[in-house]
Structure 1
Amino acid sequence: MKLAGYIFKLFLPLLLGALVLFCLAFEIVDLFMNMWKYLSNNVPVPVILKILYLYLPKTITFSLPLAILFATCYMLCILSSQNELVAMFASGISYIKAMLPLIIFSLLLSVGYFFFEDKIVVPFYKQYQELKNSSLNIEFDQNNSNVVIRSHDGQIIYKADVYEDENKQLNNVLLIVRNDDKKLNCIVKANNGLWNEEQRRWILSGTVTYRLDENGDLRYSMLNSEIEMMFDEPPETFRNNLVDVETVTVKEGKEYIEYLRRTGLPSSEALSVYYKKYSFPLVIFIVTLLAIGLSGRSRRNVIIISMILSVGASVLFYVLQMVTMLLAKFGFVTPVAGAWFPVIVFFIISLILLRYSKT
């Protein structure tokens, strides 16, 4: 326990100091990148300060893996330069046993990182974006074009040239209606469709309906009122409402993926990012293992070499994750593999490094 206390006495001040410096650096970068926009829009100083405050939790998530990496490397270099590691080895304490409290701490910190991201960072970042956009007079158009939506579990397929959100109107509409057995029931063409809030359905105008006759040919027919009542897909579905799963909570991400599946839109990219929300917090655990496994590999310039090796390994982790996420996006690997493969690979590499570390 005394050894663990001594290690944390060295480690925690380094971690907090590095975290503050990295967060400050990210805040300054964000401020200077947007300074000319704030000045051109006459944004008051209190509003700018509030924007920076709302951005702070996001900077913590950016900074924490870097701070952990720096603090771990620097602490181990201090122990090595003062021959304290040699004293531990001589007293029968192995390297892994000495570092075990730090490894457990990093694992617990990874769990905390997940909840911090989901419960604090996401709401703060949403307010940050809203306040920043309103201050800079940035508006997003929710109109949509070339809309194709699947509804009622694929029983009805909507196609519209344009969706106008202000009027809640679909223009140049084509609807394909299928029976429960997925066989074609009818095809409905309409000049436009207007959303009726009271009836909670689309009211079509200028409709032309076609059905298959006994010979399998399309023939003009009347639109069945029972089918007409099924045109109840809410207008929110047709909006230009692409969601970045990485910037929403786990619950909201899951709901968005269910929406994509329900409407027949591609969901592989969103699903891989959703799984990444669970896997990425373990980057803290991974960089800690890498730093412990790679520190002290050189007898000269110990701090510099250890830092370069650890940063290099961490960069490789991020690069591999980017590659696997792209592969998942284009369907070459499953979303689960895209999110978790880098974590598993570098966890195995870290175990190998620890196995052959100094003792």
Structure 2
Amino acid sequence: MILIRYILKKFFPVFAGALVFFCFVLLLVDLLGNLWRYLLEGASLKAIARVSLFYIPKAVSFSVPLAVLFGAAFTLSSLHASNELTVIFASGISLFRFTLPLLIFSLLLSVAFFFFEDRIAVPFYARKIEAQRAALNEPVSYDNDRIVVLADGGRTVYRADYYDDGQQRLYNFMIFMRSEDRSLNRIITADSAFWDNQRWILSGAVSYIYEDGKIFFIEGSDFVCTETPDTFKNISVSVDEVSTAEAREYIAKLKRTGLPHAEAASLYHKKFAFPLITFIAVFLSIGLAGKSRKNILLVSLVSCVSAAVAFYVTQMVTMLLSQFGYISPFAGAWIPVFLFTGISIVLLRFART
């Protein structure tokens, strides 16, 4: 119990200090990166401060993995440099047993990190984007053009030249209806269509029905289209920037409308895999403990940045592979976690104890 309190007492001040430092750096980078735009648009100090305030939770989310990695690496390197680890090992306590409190803490932090990101960081980041757009006078438009949407498992195809979100109206609207074997049996065209809160009202509709090798022409249409306007809006959703529930709904919409969804599915699985980076960070730090007695601050920083870069690059590669269909979305998100956990186990196996 004494050793548990001792290592946690050594770790938490470094972790807290690193967290504050990395958060400050991220806030400063975001502010300076957009400062010229704020000045150009004449944004008030209150509006700028509001943007930075809403960005704090996301900055914390970005900083936690680096702070945990740095805190663990610096703490263990300090204990090694002062020969305290040698004394602990000589008393019969292994490196794994001594650092087990850090591993348990990092695992609990991974769970907390997931909920913090999903329930706090994501909503606040959305408000940050809204506040930034308001400060920069950036208009938001959901108008869309050259629209093609699949529905009903691909049996119905909607096409429109343009969607006006302000009027909730589609122009040059066409509906292609297909049978179970995907053969075309009906086409409906309309000059326009507007949404009446329940269905689309077609204007100037004409139906072409294909039966027994013949085409029949009918003015008007009895087809009822109940697809919501959201189906036709120009909504570019980044799964990274929405909650898991919203991400599931968005992916379901992509599947339903026949749009590519591999990238969105990969990012969705990443939401569950990425929080474990805090556990992996501590595990890596333990495996690298005792590699240097000199310049422990510099060595800790270098090992921290190197491990983070290696993990992010690996994750970027696997995510790209999943987006292009070479591996599954699940594999794209989880391979880096499994790979670096394995590397950590190997490092711990050959660590000095």
TM-score by length of 2: 0.95
Displacement of 1:77:
1.4
CA RMSD of aligned residues (A): 1.7
Displacement of 1:3:
0.2
Corresponding residue for residue 328 of structure 2: 334
Displacement of 1:224:
7.5
Q: Could you report, residue by residue, the CA deviation over 1:277-331 in whole angstroms, capped at 9, with x for unpaired residues?
A: 0000011111111111112224554553454344323311110100111111111
Displacement of 1:140:
1.9
Matched AA of 2:211: D
- The answer to whether the 8 Å contact 1:294/1:353 transfers is yes
Corresponding residue for residue 349 of structure 2: 355
Tell me, in whole angstroms, the C-alpha distance in 2 between the residues paired with 1:180 and 1:225: 21
SS at 1:68's partner residue?
helix
Counterpart of 1:318 (choices 299, 312, 336) is: 312
Corresponding residue for residue 272 of structure 1: 266
For residues 233-244 of structure 1, the aligned pairs below 5 Å read: 233-244=227-238
Displacement of 1:24:
0.8
Matched AA of 1:211: I
SS at 1:260's partner residue?
helix
CA 1:163–1:316: 2 relative to 1, 3 Å: same
- The answer to whether the 8 Å contact 1:296/1:302 transfers is no
SS at 1:153's partner residue?
helix
SS at 2:234's partner residue?
coil
For residues 144-163 of structure 1, the aligned pairs below 5 Å read: 144-163=144-163
- Single out whichever of 284-293 and 309-318 deviates more from structure 2: 309-318
Tell me, in whole angstroms, the C-alpha distance in 2 between the residues paired with 1:307 and 1:276: 26
- The answer to whether the 8 Å contact 1:61/1:117 transfers is yes
- The answer to whether the 8 Å contact 1:191/1:207 transfers is yes
Corresponding residue for residue 45 of structure 1: 45
Corresponding residue for residue 207 of structure 1: 205
- The answer to whether the 8 Å contact 1:11/1:72 transfers is yes
CA 1:307–1:38: 2 relative to 1, 3 Å: closer
CA 1:46–1:306: 2 relative to 1, 3 Å: closer
Matched AA of 1:222: I
Displacement of 1:225:
4.8
The alignment covers a number of residue pairs equal to: 353
Identity, % of aligned positions: 45
Q: Does 1:291 align with 2:285?
A: yes
Corresponding residue for residue 6 of structure 1: 6
Q: Could you report, residue by residue, the CA deviation over 1:221-268 in whole angstroms, capped at 9, with x for unpaired residues?
A: 226754x12x11111210001211111111111111111111111111
Corresponding residue for residue 345 of structure 1: 339
Tell me, in whole angstroms, the C-alpha distance in 2 between the residues paired with 1:302 and 1:68: 16
CA 1:310–1:27: 2 relative to 1, 3 Å: closer
CA 1:77–1:35: 2 relative to 1, 3 Å: same
SS at 2:140's partner residue?
coil
Displacement of 1:154:
2.8
Tell me, in whole angstroms, the C-alpha distance in 2 between the residues paired with 1:50 and 1:290: 37
For residues 70-85 of structure 1, the aligned pairs below 5 Å read: 70-85=70-85
Displacement of 1:170:
1.4
- The answer to whether the 8 Å contact 2:77/2:292 transfers is no
Displacement of 1:102:
0.4
SS at 1:166's partner residue?
coil
Corresponding residue for residue 216 of structure 2: 220
Corresponding residue for residue 141 of structure 1: 141
- The answer to whether the 8 Å contact 1:275/1:335 transfers is yes
- Single out whichever of 292-301 and 330-339 deviates more from structure 2: 292-301
Q: Does 1:262 align with 2:291?
A: no
Corresponding residue for residue 193 of structure 1: 193
SS at 1:266's partner residue?
coil
Tell me, in whole angstroms, the C-alpha distance in 2 between the residues paired with 1:175 and 1:45: 51
SS at 2:154's partner residue?
coil
Q: Does 1:171 align with 2:171?
A: yes
TM-score by length of 1: 0.93
SS at 2:10's partner residue?
helix
CA 1:16–1:301: 2 relative to 1, 3 Å: closer
Corresponding residue for residue 103 of structure 1: 103
Displacement of 1:182:
4.8
Tell me, in whole angstroms, the C-alpha distance in 2 between the residues paired with 1:299 and 1:205: 79
Higher relative contact order (CA 8 A, sep 6+): 2
